[in-house]
Amino acid sequence: MRSDVVRKGIGSAPARSLLRADGLTDEDFEKPFIGIANSWNDIVPGHIHLNEIVEAVREGIIEAGGRPFTFGVPAICDGIAMGHNGMRFSLISREVISDCCEVMIEGHALDGWVGVTNCDKVTPGMLMAAGRMNVPAILITGGAMEAGNINEEKLDLQSVFEALGSYSAGKVDEDFVKTIECAACPGRGSCSGLFTANSMACLTEVLGLSLTGCGTSLAVDAKKLKIAKETGKKIVELVKKNIRPRDIVSMASFRNAVRVDMAIGGSTNTALHIPAISKDFGCNVTLDLFDEISREIPHITSLRPAGVFSIRDLDNAGGMPGVLNRLKDFVEDVPTVSGKSIKEIAEEAKVTDDNILRPLNDPYHKQGGIAILKGNLAPQGSVVKQAAVSEKMMRFTGKARVFDSEKDATDAITSRKIVSGDVVVIRYEGPKGAPGMPEMLSPTSLIMGMGLGESVALITDGRFSGATRGGAIGHVSPEAYEKGPISALKDGDVIEIDIAARKLNVKISDEEMRERLSKVKVIERPVTGVQKNYRKLVTNGANGAYLE
């Protein structure tokens, strides 16, 4: 085993001596060494309960004959970081988390590891580490939060941001906002809609790197702890059989994940994370693959923010096995850490609610949840959650209102300077330009809350929260910092959005675009530390903001 270098032979006496200081005995040196990457903290609601899950994982490891070692990794709550400088560190944390896992596991020659994760960048970061190291691994996601509730109306974090929009429009008072604030997030778990955290939890299960049922079981469910204990047992089995992540995950696995993503209407952030994760597995998922699959796989459920259902509803209706059952004629047969293949899981599954998980011949939308738009504004691509766009906004022409930061745009929206027919353009918020590609939930929610969701569009080289809905187009690539076409836009330019035709264009000639781009002066935001290093290495949104 890998850990033989620290536990076997006379030359390993110094390492064994230090491990004895941890409490290890002679008997422990005969067991597989299993790491547990624990993203617990008491800041992020999705992580406050992870120590309980870790203890269940440890029990499973010990029962199966392994020796667990727990270490910590960071996690950022995007909702808390939203709208201020902290959001510039969120996407950066994905790579930091991946690196943390790698240095701890490789540095201590561990035989295998479990990633105990939950939120937006932690799950992708751990998946990237799994592919890169190719040491036996399995993930367990901490589960979604219950939906909030007022008068039988389901609430979540999106509700709070949109209440602020209604407040800015003078539709509600401060007491109303406070009422929503206090009810929307009732307890532990990742935010209750199909936002980024829960999208990635679902796709981790479909990729085959978490146990069946893990992706949609809630944080408060007793079955989450049962899954955790079984996860601990399973990692010891994977180590003994030397089954590694790249034995499980292939290009076919990624295609399956994108198929499920389209069917459930996952967060647009999956179009950042899945391509980045694929690179660390030696595969190459592109935005073109997302668009190709989006045209063949219909959207068969209607979860928040696109619809009314929550993760609890999806779990009750059959969870990921139920979705796979609906897609069984499309999914490719690949292994999973459970020991069953994806096809076996799909065939054995049952759907218990045909409204929450509709048949393919009666979908909510004929195409998948995400569309990739290209044109003279986004030659390399841009991303929109088309399942969360109203029919009125599927084709839209408007005049550009250009802002060089999210704050400037938000100030204009709250002061009611944005009107029907505008296309809000927020640039220099991409991976390099921001840096860190912050989410734009504040401006998109303000637009919706102010009643402008069917008359105002927004495009950005930044990205969106999984809670975003409406005519919001992100990941515009190349970004402004790279002197992409978005950097040449001016107030009043006519922008044409045609989601059905996958087009995003500005009505100026190629000659004028070249002339404008030759005169662009890139805005430089001074950076230090991790942001400085990130800017040097990161690629744009079309490439998954992957570090080269």
Residue 341 CB coordination number (10 Å) = 16
Nearest-angstrom CA–CA distance, 154 and 163 = 14
Instruction: With CA atoms as reference, report the closest residue to 434 among 461, 401, 403, 464.
Output: 461
* Structure-block tokens of residue 284: 């190459």
Active-site residue flag, 415: no
Instruction: With CA atoms as reference, report the closest residue to 204 among 153, 128, 136.
Output: 128
CB-based burial, 432-441: b 16+ in 10 Å, e otherwise: bbbbbbbbbb
**Sign, CA torsion 212/217/219/221:** negative
List C-alpha distances in Å: 132 to 115, 116, 333: 14, 18, 23
Active-site residue (options: 294, 465, 477, 487): 465
* Structure-block tokens of residue 180: 């929503």
Instruction: With CA atoms as reference, report the closest residue to 439 among 46, 74, 91, 45.
Output: 91
- Strand-pair category, 494-498 with 503-506: antiparallel
* Structure-block tokens of residue 100: 């943390």
* Structure-block tokens of residue 543: 């490439």
DSSP 377-418: TEEEEEEE-GGGS-GGGSEEEEEEEEESSHHHHHHHHHTT--
Residue 225 CB coordination number (10 Å) = 17
List C-alpha distances in Å: 258 to 32, 166, 288, 346, 364: 34, 35, 11, 16, 18
CB-based burial, 346-381: b 16+ in 10 Å, e otherwise: beebebeeeebbbeeeebbbebbbbbbbbbbbbebb
Question: Would you please indicate which residues are annotated as catalytic (active-site) residues?
Answer: 465
